[in-house]
Structure 1
Amino acid sequence: MDALMTYPEIKEHLTLRDKVGQLFMAAAFINDTEAEIKKLEQLIQNHCIGALCFFHSRASAATNFEGTKEIAYQANTYKRLKQLVKRYQKVAKTPLLMAMDAEWGLAMRVENTPQYPYAITLGAAVHEKNLIHEVGRNIAMDCLQAGIHWNLAPVIDINSNPNNPVIGYRSFGDKKELITVAATEYINGMSANGILNCIKHFPGHGDTEVDSHLSLPLINRTKLELFNNELHPFKALINYGVDAVMIGHLMVPALSKNKSMPATVSVDIIQGILRQKLGFSGLIISDALNMRAVSTLYTKKGMLELRAFEAGNDMLCFSEHIVAGISAILKHGEVNSIEQSFQRIWRLKEKAFRNDRPKILNTPYHDLIPKLAKQSLTLLTGTETIIKDFRKNNYRTLAFGKKEDTTFLDSLTASPIGQNDDSILIALYPPCAKPMDYFGMDLAELRHINQLLQSKKVVLYVFGNPYILKHLAYHKSLATVLAYQDFKPFQQHAAEHFLGKHIARGKLPVTIPNPNHG
C-alpha cells in the first residue's frame, strides 16, 4: 500500500460527508455469504467508511446470539480473513483501519490460530511481567500478518463481581494495581510490533452481573469509589499513553446528571470525566452500537449514532444504521467536532500505516506457553508437603467436566495409582469460561464433587476459570491447585507439579467468594 497522506494533506481531499463516513467502524464477518460481502463493499465504496471490525460470524455473541442469516462457514477462516482484508481495502477510498477483538489472540475470532492464555491467567503470572509483554508482542505480530492494525484490547475492567457474565476471565484480576501493571506490559508488547491498542470498557464494566450485549448494566458506586478503584487503571494508563479508550454501555449514576443515561451517550462521562478530569486527548470509540444495552434507546434510525457522536465518541463501532447515522451527523453535528474526530482517526491511521514499523523477533509460541503455565500455576489451599504426602499412598483419579483432553491424568500413569476409595485426585475441566449455567458443568457432577470433597481426602486440580470454585467446597480439600487453562502444556506442567518436580509460582488474581454448594 502506498504511503498514507498526512492529516494536513488528506483533510483537503475529503468532503465533509467523507469525513463523517470515516467516523464509522463497520462490522465485517469472516464467515459471510458473497451477497453480504458485496453489500459491505458497496457501503465502504459509497460512504467512505473509516474502519472495519472483524467478527467470526453473524451467529455469535457479537450479534447477541440472534444471527438468523445464512452463514457460509469457511474451511480456512484465517485464509478467508486475509482475503477479505485485501478485498475490502481494494474498494476503499482511503485506507481502512482493520480492527479485531484479539484479547487472547486471533483465536478469539478465528479458528486454528494461536490462542494465548486468558487475561485472568496472565494476572496469576504478573510477577513475571516480561511474559505478559511477550504475549502482547506475539499477538501483535499475529495481527500484523493477518492484516489487522488495531487490537481492541486490553480489558482493564476490575472484575470485582464474581458473577460478572461478560468480563470475568477477560480481566487480569480484581486489584487495580495488578491490572495496571499487567495492562501496561501487554500494551508495551503490542506497541513493540506496531499494533494499536484500546483500553476498555470505560468507566469500568467489572462490578456488574449484567451482560451489556443483552441489557444495560448498572454500576452503583459512589463517585469517590469509582475514582479510587474503577477509574484508577484508566487514569494510570492514560497518563502512560494509550491509543484509544472504548466506552462501555454502562449506567453510572454517580458520574452523570442524567442518572439513567448510558455512558455511551453521556456528555458528562465522556467529555466531563474522560476528556477533562482524566485529560485523555486520544481517540474515543464506542462499544458495539448493536448491543441491546443501547440499540433500543432511540426509535429513529441514526439518532443513536448522532447522540453517541455528540457525547464525544470519535469512532462509532458496529452501527446497525450507518447510512442513517451519517445523514444525522451531517445534518445536526457540529462541523468543528466532526473535524476534530476525523483528525484523531487519521492520526491513528498515520501511526498504523507507518513504513518504519519495527520488526521484533517473537518468542516462539511453543516456548512461551509452557513458561506461562509454569509461572501461573497456583496453589490455593494446602501445601506442597501435603501433596507430596498424598502421592506416597494409593489414590484414585477422577476427571469431571470437559474430558476431550486429559493430559494431566494421562501423565500420571507411572505413579502409584491404586483403588484407595479414601484418597482421590480430581481433575476438573469446566466446559465454559463464562459463569452461565455453572460454567457449563452438569449440576449432578458438581454435587458429586462436593460429596467427595466433604467425605474423602481430595487433591483438586482445576483447568479453567477459578470462579468455578464458588460452587465447590474447595476449602475441604487437602489441596486445591489452579491451572486456569486446559492447554496441553498447562496440563503437563500441572502433572509435573503433582509429581513434585516443580512448585506452584502463581498467585490467584481474584477473590473467590465463600462456596455456595447447597
Structure 2
Amino acid sequence: MSSHASRLGQLLLTGIPAPELDSATAARLKKLQPGGYILFSRNLKDAATLRKLCDDLRDLSEIEPIITIDQEGGRVSRLRYIGHEPPNAQQLREKGSFDLIKQHGKLTGKLLRLFGINLDLCPVLDISYDDTADNSLKGRCYGTDPQQVVDFAGTFNRAMRKEGVLSCAKHFPGYGPAECDPHEFLPIIDKTREQLDKEELLPYRALMPELDSVMVCHANYRAYDPQNERWPASLSHNIVQKLLRDQLGFDGLAMTDDLDMGAILNEVTFEQAIQEAVKAGNDMVMICHRLEMVEEARKHLEALPDPVVYDALIRLEKTKKKLSTPSPFSLERFAEVNDEIWQLRVDTLGEERAAILSVEDGKRSPVELY
C-alpha cells in the first residue's frame, strides 16, 4: 500500500448529482475525499442553494477542495441559470475594449467568490481560425491570432485573479485547428511542431507566469505523438510532461478535460484513461457525469507508482495554498453583481442584442446539454 494511498482522492475532480447534497452522496464524498468538485447546470437551483452547496462541500472535506465551474461568458456560462448571461469572448473581442474585458474578469471573480467557487475553468486560449466553424469553440475565443488571445485573455485573467479566483487556461495545446467536437470524436491535428509553436503555444508561453492551472485537451497531435496515431493529448507524456512541463516550464496544476467524452471513451478503457492521465503528468483527472465511476477511478489510481502520485500531490498542495475563502454572502450582494453583469452585456452588445440570449439547441456542443 502506497504511503500516499490515503490522499489518492485528491487527484479526482468530480461532478456531483444535484443542487443539494443528500445524505448518501455526502457520505460517499466524505469517504472518497476528492481534491475538487466541478459544478454544472444540474447543480444550480438558486443563489442561496448554490452557496450552501459549496459550503457543504467544504465542510465534508479534510483538505480545502477546489470548487470549479465553466463560467466563460455567452453559452458557456453555467451561472446564467440563476443570473444574467455575460457576453462571450468573441463579442468582447469584436467590441475591442480592454476596459470591458477587464470588467468581465472582475465581475466573474466577484460572482464566483460570492458562491465559494475558487477556480474558474477559463480563460480559453484557443485561437479562432474561423468564427463560423461549427465546432465546440464557437464564440469562445478571445482572438483570431495568437497575440490577440494574449492581449484579451490576459486582461480577463488578471482581472479575475485579482478578485481571488484562480484561473485555468484551456484547451492545451490548442483546439483551434480541430475539425470535430471531442465530446463525440477524437480530433486529429496535423500541424507541424513549428506551426504549433508559432501559433497554439504562444498564448501559453506568454501568459505562463499568470496561469494557476492548465486543462489538457482530448485531441491527437501527430507532431508530438507520431508513433501513436490515436493517442489523446490528455494522456500523452510527450505533451503534458515533455512539452507543458519540461519545455514550457509550467509547474502549476495540470488537469485533464472531462474523461467522460467520446474522444476518450471511444479510444481507451476507463482504467487506461485514469492511469495514463496521471502518468502523463496531470495532477487531476476529471469525471463530470458518470459519477458511479469515481470510486472505480480511485481504485485505478492505487496502481500508480509512488513518485508519480507524490509529484501530483505536491503540485496540488501548492495550488491549494492559493485558494481564497468565500466572500460573505447575501442575496442583496448577488443582485448587485448580477445587475452589473447585465450592464456589461448592454455595454458590449447594445440594448437590442443584449436581449437575445444564447440558445441551448445542443447543435454546437453537447457540453451545453449536460
Measured against the shorter chain, the TM-score band is 0.7 to 0.9
- The number of equivalent residue pairs is 352
Question: Secondary structure of 1:170's partner?
Answer: coil
Equivalent residues of 2:102, 2:156 under 8 A apart:
yes
Q: Which residue number in structure 1 is paired with residue 274 of structure 2? A: 305
Equivalent residues of 2:19, 2:53 under 8 A apart:
no
Question: Secondary structure of 2:277's partner?
Answer: helix
- Going from structure 1 to structure 2, the CA distance change for 1:150 and 1:211 (only over 3 Å counts) comes to same
1:139: Cα distance to partner?
0.7
- Going from structure 1 to structure 2, the CA distance change for 1:39 and 1:294 (only over 3 Å counts) comes to farther
Matched, 1:26 2:14: yes
Match among 218, 227, 230 for residue 188 of structure 2:
218
Matched, 1:45 2:39: no
Trace 1:33-72 onto structure 2 (pairs within 5 A).
37-57=22-42
Q: Which residue number in structure 2 is paired with residue 93 of structure 1? A: 62
Matched, 1:330 2:302: yes
CA separation in 2, counterparts of 1:243 and 1:133?
Answer: 18
**1:174 is matched by which residue type in structure 2?**
T
- Going from structure 1 to structure 2, the CA distance change for 1:145 and 1:298 (only over 3 Å counts) comes to same
Q: Which residue number in structure 2 is paired with residue 172 of structure 1? A: 142
Equivalent residues of 2:124, 2:141 under 8 A apart:
yes
Q: Which residue number in structure 2 is paired with residue 134 of structure 1? A: 103
CA separation in 1, counterparts of 2:357 and 2:39?
Answer: 28
Trace 1:304-453 onto structure 2 (pairs within 5 A).
304-318=273-287, 320=290, 321-331=293-303, 333-353=304-324, 366=339, 370=343, 373-374=346-347, 408=352, 432=359, 436=363
Q: Which residue number in structure 2 is paired with residue 78 of structure 1? A: 47
Match among 124, 146, 150 for residue 94 of structure 2:
124
Trace 1:188-207 onto structure 2 (pairs within 5 A).
188-207=158-177
CA separation in 2, counterparts of 1:285 and 1:317?
Answer: 7
For structure 2, the residue ranges without an aligned partner over 5 or more in a row are 366-370
The share of aligned pairs that are identical, in percent, is: 23
Equivalent residues of 1:302, 1:326 under 8 A apart:
no
1:79: Cα distance to partner?
2.5
**2:178 is matched by which residue type in structure 1?**
T
**1:344 is matched by which residue type in structure 2?**
R
Equivalent residues of 1:169, 1:433 under 8 A apart:
no
Question: Secondary structure of 1:103's partner?
Answer: strand
Equivalent residues of 1:123, 1:179 under 8 A apart:
no
Question: Secondary structure of 1:255's partner?
Answer: coil
Equivalent residues of 2:136, 2:181 under 8 A apart:
yes
CA separation in 1, counterparts of 2:28 and 2:266?
Answer: 23
Matched, 1:146 2:86: no
1:283: Cα distance to partner?
0.7
Trace 1:4-23 onto structure 2 (pairs within 5 A).
16-23=4-11
CA separation in 2, counterparts of 1:120 and 1:219?
Answer: 23
CA separation in 2, counterparts of 1:133 and 1:85?
Answer: 26
1:323: Cα distance to partner?
2.2
**1:145 is matched by which residue type in structure 2?**
L
- Going from structure 1 to structure 2, the CA distance change for 1:151 and 1:246 (only over 3 Å counts) comes to same
**1:190 is matched by which residue type in structure 2?**
M
For structure 1, the residue ranges without an aligned partner over 5 or more in a row are 1-13, 58-72, 378-406, 410-427, 440-518
Task: Give the TM-score, by structure 2 length.
Answer: 0.85
Q: Which residue number in structure 1 is paired with residue 368 of structure 2? A: none
1:195: Cα distance to partner?
0.3
CA separation in 2, counterparts of 1:101 and 1:276?
Answer: 28
Task: Give the TM-score, by structure 1 length.
Answer: 0.62
